Chain A
Amino acid sequence: MNVDYLVNSLYLIKPELAIASALVLLVLIDLIMGNNKKFLPYVAIAGLIAAAYFIIGQFGMNSLAFVSKSNKGMIIADPFGAFFKGIVVFASLFVVYFSIKSDEIKASFERHGEYYTLIFGMILGMFFMISASDLILIYISLELVSFSSYVLAGFTKTALRNSEAALKYVIYGGVSSGIMLFGISILYGITGSTNLYEINSLIQSSSIPNLTFILSGILIFVGIGYKISAAPFHFWTPDVYEGAPITITAFLSVASKAAGFALLIRFIKITFIKSVDSAGYWQLVDLIDWKTFFIFLSIITMTLGNFAALWQDNLKRMLAYSSIAHAGYLLLGMAVLSNQGMIAIIIYFAVYAITNLGAFFVVMLIANKIGSENIDDYKGLGYSQPFLGVSLAIFLISLTGLPPTAGFIGKLYLFIALVDAKMITLAVIALLNSVVALYYYIRVLKNLFLSRPANGTFEFKVSFSNGLVLVLLAAPIIILGIYFTPLVDLAKNSMQILGF
């Protein structure tokens, strides 16, 4: 490996380098400026914009970085990764803005340096998770994301529910990553390589012990399933989402999940693929019945998420269960195992990211003023605060998936992919699940608009900048619900995973 080659590889990881430099800069500025911490969010935003600029450049790329004699490449730069990195940066920009406005975060002003540094650590980990093609890098980036989020979940140390959330998170996270690591060690043992491309060519050419291979695959899936909060590994989600500061909850529910799904899709697509037929269906190495596996997983995930959300009184916790249910819908796209299914996942995820950020932003604005996230305390909010009420209504309707919002488009493409793959029963189950979801979203809307407020509960003003950001999040949902061609085109362009 010569120096020129190394330099060329560095050009392929520009977004990661931008984030890493911003991280170092944040630490230094925090040290130098002492008590003046007003600049930190702006440095963070500048770093994110630089990363976004480099990510746009990656849409045209299709190559591997850090290839050597013994390794077929550690990092992939391709449009698929660029899309998911874009989602992460988009979410981070909003989360940094939320953090400026959040009372919870303002209260621990003297530790803002750590806060933004840890957020950047998380972003860096997610970037590597999205583009990794080597088991070592996958494991380390997963842990980088996890460690930063453990600390951030317990950031406001004095609040009891914060530290409880952090402890639960660190225990679940530690166990599932330990299980994943054991799976990786077995996979390394039977293939003798940690590179996904090499493992793929090995399992296609030679006969390897089936049972051991399935075991290691399932163990690795535990780690990924915990990141996307799929059903049997979801237990941490409601507790952490409720206990963590709202800004971090919003970040976990969008960015962390994006990275998890990107890793899942890439891992399945690169490691187990045999060929892609002309209709875009993936032929995987038949170790287990992949379709049944994903169908089973998605059905239990969405059913459990939707039914548990029914009796939640805390809006944050309800949104946590709803995010589990959404992970279930996204796994439906996995079950199709075709390019069409992946395009549906990408569309769904773009919509879900905007909607969820908006919903958490409204919850944060209200919690800043009334100090509660309980649905019963929202009674009559729609009358005294029509702007907040209507935006929350838009977000919740989009999460349900009703027209004319973008959530409907996401679900539509998912169902089309299912019907095209002749999985009608599954489409019907998903539809019935949406009906269940309607009940708990509408319950919030009922409290907002059908009850009269007690006197003087909601006498506050939404500042201009907050209103602007809210419009920035709510407007795309309506616009993409009607004019969705650009989103579909973007998704089709992003569906280029390197290899096969």
Chain B
Amino acid sequence: MHVPIEYFLVLSAFMFITGVAGVLTRRNAIVIFMSVELMLNSANLTLVTFSSYIGNPVGQLFVFFVMTVAAAEAAVGLAIIIALFRNKQTMNVDEINILKW
């Protein structure tokens, strides 16, 4: 069965937009991180799609790097959230506001 390339691209664009919208509208730091992961994964999907469509393995190789980077980012981000939570007992980004203007 052959699935046209547009299907994958539209799906990944939709995932990307969902990620951006999540970052902009959500207030919980952990949910914001999940949205960032969604953005990274949408890029991964695009890379794999193009890679198999063009027949060039570089894109799939790139995906492995991106997955590693995403894992590292989650580790660093969660560590920072824990450090902040110990100081302030909140995960709502609206209440994290001592630095402004």
Contact = CB atoms under 8 A, between A and B. Distances in A.
A, B assembled together = yes
A147 B16 CA distance: 22
Contacts of A344: none
B36 A136 contact: no
A193 B58 contact: yes
Interface in B58-97: 58-59, 61-62, 65-66, 69, 72-73, 76-77, 79-81, 83-84, 86-88, 93, 96
Given A143-B69, A164-B99, A239-B99, A178 B80 contact: no
A194 B58 contact: yes
B16 A160 contact: no
Contact of A184 (B16, B42, B43, B61): B43
A350 interface: no
Given A175-B23, A181-B66, A186-B46, A163 B77 contact: no
Given A164-B98, A164-B99, A168-B99, A178 B19 contact: yes
Nearest to B69: A143
Contact of A163 (B44, B61, B76, B80): B80
A73 to B, nearest CB: 14
Interface stretch (A151-159, A202-210, A486-494): A151-159
Interface in B38-67: 39-40, 42-44, 46-47, 49-50, 53-54, 56, 58-59, 61-62, 65-66
A178 B76 contact: no
A80 interface: no
Contact of B32 (A154, A166, A171): A171
Given A168-B99, A188-B59, A174 B84 contact: no
Contacts of A178: 19, 36, 39-40, 43
Contacts, number: 127
A166 B43 contact: no
Contacts of B100: 239
B69 A163 contact: no
A135 B53 CA distance: 19
Nearest to B77: A170
B56 A158 contact: no
B54 A174 contact: no
A147 B98 contact: no
Contacts of B88: 160, 163-164
Given A147-B73, A178-B36, A185 B80 contact: no
A179 B61 CA distance: 19
Contacts of A238: 99, 101
Interface residues of B, number: 45
Interface residues of A, number: 42
B99 A165 contact: yes
A150 interface: yes
A175 B43 contact: no
Given A163-B83, A193-B58, A175 B39 contact: yes
A167 B96 contact: yes
Contact of A136 (B46, B53, B62): B62
A192 B56 contact: yes
A113 interface: no
Contacts of A174: 33, 36, 73, 77
A486 B7 CA distance: 58
Given A139-B65, A175-B36, A188 B50 contact: yes
A161 interface: yes
Interface in A168-217: 168, 170-171, 174-175, 178-179, 181-182, 184-186, 188-189, 192-194
Interface of A: 70, 135-136, 139-140, 143, 147, 150-151, 154, 157-161, 163-168, 170-171, 174-175, 178-179, 181-182, 184-186, 188-189, 192-194, 238-239, 242-243, 308
Identify the 9 closest CB pairs spanning chains A and B, nearest first. A178-B39, A189-B50, A185-B46, A174-B36, A163-B84, A181-B43, A239-B99, A185-B43, A182-B43
